[in-house]
Amino acid sequence: MRYRDTTILITGASSGIGAEFARRLAERGADLVLVARREDRLHGLAAEIRRNRPDAEVTCLATDLARPRPGASLRAALAERGITVGALVNCAGLGLTGPFLEAAPEALHQQIDVNVSALTDLTATFLPDIVARGDGALVNVASLTAYQPVPGMAVYAATKAFVLRFTEALAYELRGTGVRVLALSPGATRSEFYTVSGTDESGVSFESPAEVVSTALRALDSHGRASVVSGRRNKIMAAAAGLLPRRLVVRAAAGSVRPV
């Protein structure tokens, strides 16, 4: 993949994995479009990146991805600035921990809106330009939860299963185009996710965002598999989920997440 002279759009860029992607891709010479709801966080990250790489072009677009079809407005805003997206990293995601029957309907729909609808819409909006370049990339952040049903995070895990299968299918469809397509599945990662989702952190072994992004970049550099799980322990768990009886997988998953 060519990084210099490439503008990469990153969603969920205000913190965690998204912010780390921004830092690392800027180090490789890419220009960036940073998308998230918190505009102050985006501008703070942009200033940090420019300090480390003064020639970096960084555009901040505060956007609520839970709104219907955000791709068109983002594309229009970039067209006004003369920016064409050459690669897309969909990091934005929402999760909620707790029994399904106790969740507010709006919170359930927001997870689907951001994790599935917005990701699909942004991919449909920007993928034609990426394919036209012939050397870009599409990275969609799934999750270890994509590999099994997760009682207590039923909607979140289901949305991430969509992300994983959708991305793997696109990787096959786009073979021969020169576009690298990757589904990245992190496990527990040290970020704001556990706090925002209301998930108990007790006894959880975390990777850092830097470790997760390093996994993704190695996969992009190797032109290997269409999906990758970050972390050796997480890889074993994902593999086991495909081999063990489903009832055991569900039971184990139910014990892995607890509300605060």
d(CA 31, CA 48): 14
DSSP at 102? G
Within 7-136, strands assigned E span 7-11, 31-36, 58-62, 87-90
Given a contact cutoff of 8 angstroms between Cβ atoms, the answer to whether 92 and 160 are in contact is no
Spatial strand order in the sheet of 58-62: 58-62, 31-36, 7-11, 87-90, 137-141, 180-185, 227-229
Could you say which of 3, 147, 156, 194 is catalytic?
A: 156
- Catalytic, 156? Answer yes
Q: 139: part of which helix (H) or strand (E)?
A: strand 137-141
CA distance 203 to 103: 25
* Exposure class string for 159-185: b at 16+ Cβ within 10 A, else e: bbbbbbebbbebbeebeebebbbbbbb
Q: Which residues are annotated as catalytic?
A: 156
